[in-house]
Amino acid sequence: MIDFKREIAKILSQRIEELTKDEIIEMIEIPPNSQMGDFAFPCFKLAKIFRKAPNMIAQEIAEDIKENDLFEKVENVAAYVNFFIDKVTFAKSVIGEVLTKKDTFGSSNIGEGKKVIVEFSSPNIAKPFHIGHIRSTVIGNSIYKLYDFLGYDTITINHLGDYGTQFGKLIVAYKNWGDEKEVEENPIPTLLKLYIRFHEEAEKNPELEDEGRMWFKKLEDGDEEAKRLWQWFREVSLKEFNRVYNMLNISFDSYAGESFYSDKMPRVLKMMEEKNMLKKSKGADIVDLEEYGMPPALIRKSDGSTLYITRDITAAIYRKEHYDFYKNIYVVASQQNLHFQQWFKVVELMGYEWAKDCIHVPFGLVSLEEGTMSTRKGRVVFLEDVLKKAVEKTKEIIGEKNANLENIDETAKQVGIGAVVFQELSNNRIKDYTFSWDRTLNFDGETGPYVQYTHARACSVLRKAQVTIDENVDYGLLSNEDAMDLVRLIQMFPATVEEAARKYEPSIVTRYIVDVAQAFNRFYHNSPIIVEDKELQKARLALVYAAKQTIKNGLGLLGIAAPERM
């Protein structure tokens, strides 16, 4: 694809020697509407260099360039030089690129040779995988896909919460009131019940707390029984988590959770001691962070046991040594902001310059709309139930609209789950929001089903036309405004992917594909595609193909399927 910005920069840099090509590229804007051109170059900053009014400069540049194959018009309006790209060259360049690259349209190799770790999801063993976890899971998965698409060498890690004193408590609860069969059959709700019971009983009998601590100590010391039970809790929990990951089509390169670092912490504690970083405080070891405006980081309790933060520090050092990452990304709720700031600082104070390459990508809270959610047991909402319900509801809706659809079950799965994921990725990640079924399953608004339906509609047009789309197209026939708007949008896909990755913000892609779907539907309504004139039909079909492919690639980056019929 011709990089028009770069071409413009090349032309301009011949006339403005005082600025580098990259500086010029930075300054080039995309005007809010196409009457003002496809690209615009503001001249305000040049006033100082040329000692002239910006309007004058713009006028001179515009007049000077005028003659050029790439542009049908270059003109100035006030202090802007507006570039109107030659429509044929533009359409040919953009659509041609999609036709050759297909599934890789929008990808690049800017990340070649750079390793990026994306840690996401990371639920806690024996605890429900609830609606709150969906955010980390789908945002993280999309960030991974974005970096992968840009050619980075990616590693996905599920930092399972599988260690800590709560497992001592759970062992005690199971030994007292547990039933093996019940745990096997319905692991997480049963383990959760045992955990709740432990706390109820411990109110009456505080000795249980000591017992819990003792069993965790046993686990840390490698006691056989403690290890066997813990291992079993972990296994049955993972089996349940994996059901959800399978529904979402997500897998991880590593499931090294907190327990993985248990034997790696002593070395890290020793390093901190040697660097004189630890201070005693009521028998515990802390790193004082007052100087940096933060409360102290508690690294080791007075009984010698380690903490969540100790494991995070150890994990980061392990990851650097094991993977030698370029970036180490953590997709974790904003409630943990302080936690991450604290331990990033501790790693920095240990002298690791790569502390700056550890990145916390926070996201806001999800709350549930009053009365929307039925729950299986108690107050917790299980993610699996949310996904299942979305699929059921979708099946009903599809059944009403298109009862003869083959594969209705598979499609309902793709659309129902896609709807939940799309909704999750619609807003800026940092924003808190309320989950609503109506919004999620509306097929008409700016939703997943709407975008998927647009894609399926494009597929259907291409199927019916029964012609092979190749690059042998008379692009001059695509000159109407709707067509050009769509081409302009498609052209922005590669830059959109880069921006979304750079900002760790999948919603940029979500909003972009809604724009593409809307532009496609405008074009489709106003320009009949199956027409007498075979050349015109072919040109329009090529554009339909390019839009379809762009939507499909965009959905893929969000972790959403693009069914061809629905």
* Catalytic sites, residue numbers: 127, 130, 133
Candidates 241, 252, 227; CA nearest to 124 is 241
Contact 79, 43 (CB under 8 A): yes
d(CA 145, CA 154): 9
54 or 161: whose CB is closer to ligand ARG? 161
| Dihedral class, residue 61 (left if φ above 0, else alpha if ψ from -120 to 50, else beta) | alpha
451, 517 contact by CB (below 8 A): yes
Nearby residues of 417 by Cβ (< 8 Å), 6 or more positions away: 247, 248, 387, 390, 391, 560
Q: Which of 124, 254, 427, 480 binds ligand ARG (CB under 6 A)?
A: 124
Among the listed residues 128, 161, 362, 448, the single contact to ligand ARG using CB under 6 A: 161
C-alpha span between 529 and 465 (Å, rounded): 9
DSSP code, position 306: B
Stretch that binds ligand ARG, among 118-126, 197-205, 357-365, 438-446 (CB under 6 A): 118-126
Using CB under 6 A as the binding rule, the residues of this chain from 199 to 258 that contact ligand ARG are none
List of residues 6+ apart from 290 with CB closer than 8 A: 296
Neighbouring-strand partners of residue 327: 116
What's the closest the beta carbon of residue 319 comes to ligand ARG, in angstroms?
Answer: 10
Residue 42 CA, distance from chain mean position: 33
| Region of 119-127, 298-306, 406-414, 448-456 interacting with ligand ARG (CB under 6 A) | 119-127
Residue at shortest CB range from ligand ARG: 161
CB of 127 or CB of 197, closer to ligand ARG: 127
Binding letters toward ligand ARG, positions 300-319, x by CB under 6 A: ------------x-------
Give the position of tokens 């496809």. 38
Closer Cβ to ligand ARG, 332 or 441, answer by number: 332
d(CA 528, CA 506) in angstroms, rounded, equals 33
Residue 381 or 509 with smaller CB distance to ligand ARG: 381
CB of 383 or CB of 546, closer to ligand ARG? 383
Strand (E) positions, 401-477? 433-435
Residue 161 vs 494, nearer CB to ligand ARG: 161
Binding segment (CB under 6 A) for ligand ARG, from list 122-130, 272-280, 383-391, 526-534: 122-130
| Minimum CB–partner distance for residue 107 and ligand ARG (Å) | 28
Q: Toward ligand ARG, which CB reaches closer, 122 or 521?
A: 122
Q: What angle do CA 396, 398, 403 make, to 5 degrees?
A: 100
The reply to whether 330 sits near ligand ARG by the rule CB under 6 A is yes
Token pair of 557 as six digits:
């980056």
Smaller CB distance to ligand ARG: residue 125 or 555?
A: 125
- Of the candidates 76, 122, 158, 426, which one interacts with ligand ARG according to CB under 6 A? 122
Q: Which stretch binds ligand ARG (CB under 6 A): 52-60, 102-110, 115-123, 362-370?
A: 115-123
Residue 241 CB, nearest approach to ligand ARG (Å)? 12
124 DSSP 8-state letter: B
Answer yes or no whether residue 159 interacts with ligand ARG by CB under 6 A.
Answer: yes
Using the contact rule CB under 6 A, the part of the chain among 84-92, 120-128, 139-147, 408-416 near ligand ARG is: 120-128
Count CA within 13 A, CB hemisphere, residue 69: 3
Q: SS3 for 132?
A: helix
Q: Does residue 491 bind ligand ARG (CB under 6 A)?
A: no
Q: Candidates 64-72, 117-125, 403-411, 458-466 — which segment interacts with ligand ARG by CB under 6 A? A: 117-125
Contact 145, 557 (CB under 8 A): yes
Q: How many residues bind ligand ARG (CB under 6 A)?
A: 9
Residue 18 to residue 50: CA distance in whole angstroms = 10
In whole angstroms, the minimum distance from the beta carbon of 124 to ligand ARG comes to 5
> Do residues 364 and 431 touch, judged by C-beta distance below 8 A?
yes
269, amino acid identity: L
Quick check: 332 binds ligand ARG (CB under 6 A)? Answer: yes
Give min distance, CB of 217 to ligand ARG, in A: 22
Concatenating the DSSP letter of every residue in 479-511 gives: -SHHHHHHHHHHHTHHHHHHHHHHTT-THHHHH
Residues of this chain that interact with ligand ARG (CB under 6 A) are 119, 122-124, 159, 161, 312, 330, 332
